Each structure stands twice: as structure tokens, then as C-alpha cells.
């Protein structure tokens, strides 16, 4: 059984390799296509394989038309750069030139004119146009890669066997004479010739598609599968399925040493089994780095699955985990990772509080406006003294004293777990600003609504097949594309960008740039150096107070006493004020354990190169990064996916109509009478077959009429559905304020009018 599974896996990998080889051959050889649609599909295949895009540089007006007639005034060709010699003369209908979308900027003058106009408008009075600061203001990298497509009309009836100049001149004259007499008598074959650009022609930017994207298929993966079976002694072996690819292990090792997120989702197949996602926050997005399915959601089952991932990743030792308030997940994580802290998600905590307060059985639905602010103030405590003070405020409140359920609920469920959800207790050694696991929730929603649509009642193997072949590859592809797009190899950075912010994730660059803009209002005397990387910076909102800044050391994290740093863990405007006025203390002076965080840098493995490999001219040398294959522990056979249960009648009708139109156009070029008679007989048979499949009543055909509402239902008055409030299902202070003040009707009849300022004196 194991040997059969391994052979099946190798056969699948061999098919994938052959598909990649076909795409590579397209880029290295001359190609001939019978229709323009075939060429466009091949071009899309090449773009998909190499993660490049081509735009139209130039197109002749007649290119792509199929009803073009031979002309005696056009030149007769026997060979062109994109059309090799084959003994058949042809006329050139038209050409279309594609270029890499990161090629030369062809709109430089228009852009300069537009920017000059904007700058002139900004100097005028009463101008409030929005201005954006683009971190990467152009993607044009002067790439010379181009693709030329030539549409030709070939005349196979004038083919020559001897390739001589005299023979070509003789046949060309004869062809022109026949075309001048009657063009319809000449047999014409329309073809599209091109040579796809090899990957080496792309310069100044990476092409990483062939390097990394298909690798999830050809690299081995780790699979642990144990089916649910009834044993001879009457016990049942529980289901367990664990899955992790090579790229998932790499991302887990790179980003999973600080914070990992664990969450379960349900109703993904017809069976009532939970699907667990092990996620990390990468430098550009959230990514699933492991998944497992258990038969039941118990601490023992979850712990067993975590043991499997721990064996697969022996150097994985995260400092923190984040979950929702699930005692099963908390217990399993604390037993298996005893040195890690398990934190609670702020969103699920807030949601649980709001739902509990809204239930009428708890007796606080009328007083939730006074209870929830007290609970939130405790969660936001930044010092132990604040926590004790705000806890005392809650215990002295009237809603606490009058309701025994509130006291029991908070004292028994939430207060013993305060170390998991109060900011002061969990921010001590937290290096990343992750306070919710909404990134995992978004992965769950994407899986259900974008990938499992049409598979709601599928089997477990079908659901896992969608995960392995569709969902996970798209996740990794998104990670690769974002890392490439944020690099200076893909887009040039704005000249005003500081050097230390280039080749950083977009979120980091945007955050620090906005703080640098705010820090411009500081003066040199607002920053006071205290020695050993410590500074005092005056507060702008409270000038009498100062914020304490510490650049940190080898094991000490940088810090600032402002709320911005506590929320984002990124340089605030006070750090940026030091960067601006104390030039020897910049980004490079921050503690190395913070500065070298992988969340603050792009993944060089996705770029295929490092930033230092780029020279002054903008050219770069691509360096391949390969991964060591890992052996498969066990693999479960997956059946082929069934067709999605979606009506495709409209699409199929359009395809049939398109084919009929193309056949009609080509019949005008046919000259062979015997073939025309054969074609007529074939089309007659097809017509009779279509009539048989057309709805009819005995011998009379029926007209298709879509179903409509019943007459009595159509006469009923239409009920007006109120517009859904955009903040109905949201929780938190901001959501509550928006629910109270969003689209509020106001009576302005009793409001006195002010003086008319537009009246001239």
C-alpha cells in the first residue's frame, strides 16, 4: 500500500514537471497558432508560469481580422524574422508588439506635465486636493523583453520544392497575377507566428514564477494520516490528519519563533470534524503553515496533532501563541509547549463580553453601556498600578454590586486568566504587535467562500484535495507576489524615501514615513540625550511631559512610553524625531534582535537575490534558491474532484455560437468543391442532431422561456427591506459610537438660521 502511494505521488510530480517543461519550451522555440485566441491562451500560460505581465506596445489596425482578402499590391514574402522559411509564400496582414510591463516608461512627458499642473494648483488659494505619497512611484525598470506576433496569409497552392531566387521570383509573379484576376480563387490559410521571450531577456527585475511557484507540487511534503477504525476489542481509533509542505516549514521557522496563531473552523465538509489552521504573521500577510483534522475537539486530540508538528520541526520553539477563549486549545498548547505563553485574542474577548452582556438572562442588558467601558479599561491597563486601580473601580461600580451573575462570571472566568488578555501582562517581552487572530479568521472565510463554494457537502478527501491543490498554493503565491512587488527590483522607490526604508514591507515603510512626516514639527531642543541610547522627547499634545525612548541593546528591546509604540511596536514619531535631529542615532542603532526581525525585511528567497547584489546601473544577477526535499511519512489517496455543480449552459451556448461564426468566416476562403460538399453533408447531420435535442412537442419545436413568478405573487406589494447597518456585527468602542451616530436623522425645523455671509454689503 505504501509503495503504491509513493508511486502515485511520483507520477503526479512527473506530470507537473512535464507541464512546466512545456511552458519552458514555449519560451525557447518558434510557435505557430491557427487563431488569435490560441496565441492569447499561450501568452497567459507563459505569464502565469513566470509571474510576468505583457502590455501592448503597438498594434496595426488590421491585425486580428480573419476576413482579409489577398491583395496584388502587397509584397509577397517567403521568410521573416518571426516566420521561418517552409517553401510557402505569404503576405503579412499585420503585427502586434507586446512588451514587459516593467519596460521603458513611454509616458514620461505626460507624467511630468501632470505633476507640474498639480504643483501649480497646490500653490493656489483654497485648494484642498488630496495628495498621496507613493512609496514606490513607478514599476518601470527599462526591461527590454518584447514579443512580436505576425499575422500572415499563407498560400499553400504555390509551394515550391526548390529554394532558389529565380523560383521564388517566378512563383511570386504568378501568385500576384492570380490574385489580381480573382482573389477568391486563391486558397488562403491564416496563421499567427511568434517567438516567446526567454527568461534571460528580462532584465532589472526578477522573474520568480518558474523558480518557486510550482515547487509546492514537486517538493515532498509531510503527511500523517490515521483513519478512524473499529478495533477488535471494541475501541475506536480516532481520525488524525496532519499536513505540512516544505515551504510551510520554512515560513514556520522564519516567522513562527515569536508568535503563532491556532484556530479551528467547522462546516467545511459533510462530516462534523474540526479543521485546525496553524498560522503565522509573515512580513506581508498571514499564511497557513500547517493544518490538521481531528475526530473531536479535545485536549488530547489537539495535543497529539501538535506533537506531530513538533516532531517535524524540532527547532520550532515559539515564545507566544494566540487563540480564542478555547480551554481545549489553551490546555493542549500549555502541555506541549511549556515554555510558551498563550494569549487571548482581543477581538474574541470583546465579542464574548458584548454577547454575554446582551443576554437578558444575565440581567445587565440595560446597563451594558456602563459595564463594558469598565471592562475595556481593565484590558487596556498599561501598568500593574493601573490594573489594580481599574479593577477596584469595577468592583465599586453599582452594576457590580447589584448583580451576582456579573461577579461570578468575571471572577471565575476572566479574572483568573488576566495574564492572557490584559495588555500590561502580555506586552512584557512581546516583539510583534499581534493582538487578534483575525488573520486566521480571514483565512477561514476565504477557504469557505472562495475555494469550497460548491463543495459544501463534499467528503473529507475532497475537502483536503481543495486545500492541498488550490487553497495552500494560492496562499504561497500571494506571499511570493507581495514580496516581489514591494522590492526595488520590481518598482523603483520614491527619491524622497530614506535609504533604510527601501526594500521593506509596505506596512513598515508607510508607518515609518507617516511618523517621519509628523516628526518634522519637532525642533532640536525638543530632543534631549541621556546617554546609552536613551532620549527624552517632548510630547506635542502635553508639552509639560516627556516620553522616554530607549534604543535597546543586544537582549533589551527598544521602547517608548507613548501609546503608538505600545500599539504597533514600530518606530513612533518620537523615535523619528531622534532620527532627524541626532544623525548618529538612526535605524541602524536599534537593538539587533529588533532590527533584524524578519517581519521588517523582505524574503530574499522569493526575490531569488539579495539587495546587495544590485549594482548602480539597476541591473541585478538572479541567484537560485533551492530547497532540500523532505521525505513523505505517509500519504492518503485522494480521489479526483467532481465537477462543480454549477449551470454552464450560458457559457456553452456562447462557445458554440463562437465556433459557428468562425466556421462561417472560414467558408468564404474555401476553394475545394469536394471538401465543400463533404462539409455541407457534415453540417446537415449536425443540424438534424441539434433539432433532435431541441425541446419540442411532437413535431413542433418549443421556444425556451425562463421561469417567472406566479401571477398572483407578482401582484403582491413589494416589501421594502431596510438598508443594513454597516456596523451591526462589529464590536468595540468605535463600532458602538458608529451605531449611535451613523446616518442619524435630525430635525432642523427649530434651528435658527445664521446670517447670510454671501450677501454683499
- The percentage of the chain sitting over the pLDDT mark of 90, rounded to a whole number, equals 26
Question: Rg of the Cα trace of the chain?
Answer: 34
pLDDT at 251: 94
Paired strand residues for 77: 90
**pLDDT tens across 497-517, in order?**
889 998 899 989 999 999 999
CA distance 427 to 341: 11
Question: 192 φ, ψ to 5°?
Answer: -120, 120
Nearest Cα residue to 290 out of 330, 261, 333: 261
Domains and their CATH numbers in the chain: 2-106+134-205 (no CATH), 206-344+436-490+626-643 (3.30.420.10), 346-432 (no CATH), 506-600 (no CATH)
Environment class of residue 226 by beta-carbon count within 10 Å: exposed (0-12), middle (13-18) or buried (19+)?
A: middle
Mean of the pLDDT values across residues 600-616? 63
pLDDT top residue among 346 and 455: 346
Beta strands (DSSP E) in 270-348 are 275-281, 286-294, 320-323, 341-344
In this prediction, residue 15 has a pLDDT band, given cuts at 50, 70 and 90, of: very low
In this prediction, residue 13 has a pLDDT band, given cuts at 50, 70 and 90, of: very low
C-beta of residue 86 within 8 angstroms of C-beta of residue 119: no
pLDDT at 433: 76
289 has pLDDT over 90: yes
pLDDT top residue among 524 and 233: 524
Beta strands (DSSP E) in 633-720 are 696-697, 700-701
Give the strands of the sheet with 341-344, arranged side by side: 221-226, 240-245, 286-294, 275-281, 259-265, 320-323, 341-344
Nine-digit cell at 75? Answer: 509584397
* 216-220, 314-318, 347-351, 684-688: range with highest mean pLDDT: 314-318
Would you tell me how many other CB atoms lie within 10 Å of the CB of residue 16? Answer: 14
Environment class of residue 478 by beta-carbon count within 10 Å: exposed (0-12), middle (13-18) or buried (19+)?
A: middle
Length of the chain counted residue by residue: 761
CA distance 88 to 191: 12
pLDDT at 6: 40
In this prediction, residue 756 has a pLDDT band, given cuts at 50, 70 and 90, of: low
**pLDDT tens across 301-310, in order?**
999 999 999 9
pLDDT at 477: 87
pLDDT at 666: 79
C-beta of residue 244 within 8 angstroms of C-beta of residue 312: yes
**pLDDT tens across 692-730, in order?**
777 654 444 444 545 555 555 556 565 565 666 666 667
H helix and E strand count, the chain? 28, 20
pLDDT at 396: 93
Task: Say what the pTM is.
Answer: 0.66
CA distance 152 to 698: 50
Nine-digit cell at 465? Answer: 484535495
Establish how many alpha carbons lie within 13 A of residue 365's alpha carbon, considering only the half-sphere containing its beta carbon: 7
pLDDT at 312: 94
Mean of the pLDDT values across residues 389-404? 92
pLDDT top residue among 395 and 138: 395
> Which of the 8 DSSP states describes residue 295?
S
In this prediction, residue 633 has a pLDDT band, given cuts at 50, 70 and 90, of: very low
Would you tell me how many other CB atoms lie within 10 Å of the CB of residue 752? Answer: 4
Angle between the 573-581 and 506-518 helix axes, to the nearest 10 degrees?
A: 70
Mean of the pLDDT values across residues 191-201? 86
Mean of the pLDDT values across residues 164-171? 88
- The percentage of the chain sitting over the pLDDT mark of 70, rounded to a whole number, equals 77
In this prediction, residue 376 has a pLDDT band, given cuts at 50, 70 and 90, of: very high
Mean of the pLDDT values across residues 49-59? 84
Q: Which of 40-54, 328-342, 385-399 is least confident?
A: 40-54
Would you tell me how many other CB atoms lie within 10 Å of the CB of residue 566? Answer: 17
Mean of the pLDDT values across residues 617-631? 35
pLDDT at 1: 35
In this prediction, residue 265 has a pLDDT band, given cuts at 50, 70 and 90, of: confident
pLDDT at 751: 54
Q: What is the DSSP string of 159-201?
A: --SS--HHHHHHHHHHHHHHHHH-GGGS--EEEEEEEPPPGGG
- 312 alpha-carbon distance from chain centroid: 27
Nine-digit cell at 741? Answer: 451616530
pLDDT at 241: 93
133 has pLDDT over 80: no
Mean of the pLDDT values across residues 456-478? 84
Nearest Cα residue to 250 out of 213, 218, 290: 290
691 has pLDDT over 80: no
Nearest Cα residue to 590 out of 602, 600, 581: 600
Sign of the alpha-carbon torsion through 297, 300, 306, 308: negative
Mean of the pLDDT values across residues 248-276? 88
430 has pLDDT over 50: yes
Label residue 64 left, alpha or beta by phi (over 0 means left) and psi (-120 to 50 means alpha).
left
pLDDT at 690: 82
Paired strand residues for 531: 534
In this prediction, residue 73 has a pLDDT band, given cuts at 50, 70 and 90, of: confident
Mean of the pLDDT values across residues 436-455? 70
520 has pLDDT over 80: yes
Q: Angle at the Cα of 75 (from 69 to 77), degrees rounded to 5?
A: 100
255 has pLDDT over 90: yes
pLDDT at 743: 66
Nearest Cα residue to 488 out of 499, 505, 500, 502: 502
Q: Which of 61-65, 481-485, 511-515, 605-609 is least confident?
A: 605-609
Nine-digit cell at 669? Answer: 476562403
Residue indicated by cell numbers 475526530 = 295
Amino acid at each position: 500500500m505504501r509503495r503504491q502511494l509513493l508511486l502515485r505521488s511520483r507520477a503526479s510530480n512527473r506530470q507537473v514537471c512535464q507541464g512546466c517543461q512545456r511552458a519552458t519550451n514555449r519560451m525557447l522555440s518558434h510557435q505557430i497558432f491557427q487563431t488569435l485566441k490560441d496565441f492569447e491562451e499561450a501568452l497567459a500560460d507563459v505569464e502565469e508560469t513566470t509571474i510576468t505581465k505583457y502590455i501592448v506596445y503597438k498594434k496595426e489596425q488590421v491585425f486580428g481580422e480573419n476576413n482579409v482578402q489577398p491583395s496584388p499590391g502587397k509584397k509577397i514574402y517567403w521568410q521573416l524574422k518571426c516566420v521561418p522559411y517552409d517553401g510557402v509564400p505569404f503576405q503579412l496582414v499585420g503585427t502586434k508588439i507586446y512588451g514587459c510591463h516593467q519596460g521603458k516608461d513611454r509616458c514620461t512627458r505626460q507624467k511630468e506635465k501632470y505633476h507640474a499642473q498639480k504643483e501649480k494648483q497646490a500653490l493656489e488659494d483654497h485648494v484642498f486636493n488630496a495628495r498621496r505619497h507613493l512609496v514606490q512611484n513607478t514599476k518601470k525598470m527599462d526591461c527590454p523583453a518584447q514579443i512580436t506576433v505576425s499575422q500572415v496569409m499563407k498560400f499553400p497552392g504555390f509551394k515550391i520544392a526548390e529554394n532558389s531566387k529565380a523560383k521564388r521570383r517566378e512563383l511570386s509573379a504568378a501568385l500576384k497575377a492570380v490574385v489580381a484576376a480573382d482573389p477568391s480563387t486563391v486558397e488562403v490559410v491564416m496563421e499567427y507566428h511568434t517567438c516567446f521571450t526567454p527568461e534571460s531577456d528580462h532584465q532589472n527585475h526578477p522573474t520568480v514564477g518558474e523558480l518557486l511557484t510550482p515547487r509546492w507540487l514537486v517538493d515532498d511534503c509531510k503527511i500523517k494520516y490515521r483513519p478512524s477504525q473499529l478495533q477488535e476489542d471494541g475501541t475506536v481509533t480516532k481520525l488524525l490528519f496532519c499536513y505540512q509542505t516544505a515551504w510551510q516549514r520554512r515560513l514556520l521557522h522564519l516567522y513562527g519563533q515569536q508568535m503563532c496563531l491556532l484556530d479551528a473552523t467547522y462546516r467545511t465538509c459533510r462530516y462534523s470534524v474540526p479543521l485546525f489552521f496553524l498560522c503565522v504573521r509573515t512580513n506581508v500577510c498571514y499564511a497557513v503553515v500547517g493544518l490538521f483534522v481531528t475526530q473531536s475537539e479535545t485536549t488530547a486530540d489537539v495535543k497529539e496533532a501538535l506533537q506531530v508538528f513538533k516532531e517535524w520541526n524540532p527547532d520550532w520553539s515559539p515564545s507566544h501563541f494566540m487563540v480564542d477563549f478555547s480551554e481545549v486549545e489553551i490546555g493542549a498548547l500549555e502541555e506541549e509547549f511549556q515554555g510558551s505563553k498563550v494569549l487571548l485574542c482581543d477581538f474574541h474577548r470583546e465579542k464574548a463580553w458584548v454577547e454575554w452582556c446582551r443576554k437578558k438572562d444575565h440581567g445587565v442588558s440595560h446597563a451594558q453601556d456602563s459595564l463594558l467601558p469598565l471592562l475595556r479599561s481593565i484590558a487596556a491597563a498599561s501598568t500593574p498600578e493601573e490594573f489594580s486601580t481599574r479593577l477596584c473601580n469595577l468592583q465599586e461600580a453599582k452594576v457590580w454590586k447589584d448583580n451576582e451573575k456579573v461577579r461570578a462570571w468575571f471572577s471565575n472566568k476572566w479574572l483568573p486568566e488576566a495574564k492572557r488578555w490584559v495588555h500590561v501582562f502580555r506586552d512584557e517581552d512581546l516583539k510583534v504587535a499581534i493582538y487578534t487572530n483575525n488573520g486566521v479568521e480571514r483565512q477561514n472565510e476565504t477557504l469557505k467562500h472562495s475555494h469550497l463554494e460548491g463543495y459544501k457537502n463534499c467528503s473529507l478527501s475532497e475537502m483536503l484535495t481543495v486545500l492541498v491543490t488550490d487553497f495552500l498554493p494560492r496562499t504561497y503565491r500571494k506571499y511570493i507576489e507581495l514580496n516581489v512587488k514591494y522590492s526595488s527590483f520590481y518598482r523603483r522607490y520614491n527619491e524622497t524615501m530614506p535609504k533604510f526604508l527601501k526594500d521593506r514591507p509596505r506596512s513598515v515603510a508607510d508607518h515609518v514615513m507617516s511618523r517621519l512626516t509628523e516628526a518634522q514639527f519637532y525642533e532640536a531642543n525638543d530632543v534631549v540625550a541621556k546617554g546609552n541610547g536613551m532620549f527624552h522627547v517632548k510630547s506635542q499634545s502635553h508639552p509639560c511631559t516627556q516620553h522616554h525612548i530607549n534604543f535597546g541593546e543586544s537582549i533589551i528591546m527598544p521602547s517608548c512610553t507613548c501609546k503608538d509604540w505600545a500599539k504597533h511596536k514600530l518606530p513612533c514619531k518620537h523615535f523619528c524625531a531622534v532620527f532627524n535631529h541626532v544623525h548618529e542615532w538612526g535605524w541602524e542603532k536599534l537593538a539587533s534582535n529588533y532590527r533584524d526581525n524578519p517581519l521588517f525585511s523582505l524574503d530574499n528567497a522569493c526575490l531569488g537575490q539579495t539587495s546587495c547584489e544590485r549594482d548602480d546601473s539597476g541591473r541585478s544577477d538572479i541567484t537560485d534558491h533551492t530547497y532540500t526535499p523532505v521525505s513523505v511519512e505517509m500519504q492518503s489517496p485522494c480521489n479526483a474532484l467532481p465537477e462543480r455543480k454549477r449551470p454552464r449552459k450560458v457559457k456553452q451556448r456562447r462557445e458554440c455560437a463562437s465556433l459557428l461564426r468562425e466556421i462561417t468566416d472560414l467558408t468564404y476562403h474555401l476553394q475545394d468543391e469536394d471538401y465543400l460538399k463533404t462539409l455541407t453533408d457534415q453540417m446537415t447531420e449536425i443540424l438534424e442532431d441539434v433539432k433532435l435535442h431541441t425541446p419540442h412537442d411532437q413535431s413542433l419545436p418549443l421556444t425556451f422561456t425562463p421561469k417567472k413568478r406566479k401571477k398572483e405573487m407578482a401582484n403582491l406589494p413589494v416589501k421594502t427591506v431596510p438598508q443594513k447597518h454597516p456596523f451591526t456585527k462589529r464590536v468595540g468602542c468605535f463600532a458602538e459610537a458608529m451605531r449611535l451616530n451613523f446616518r442619524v436623522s435630525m430635525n432642523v425645523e427649530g434651528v435658527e438660521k445664521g446670517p447670510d455671509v454671501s450677501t454683499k454689503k
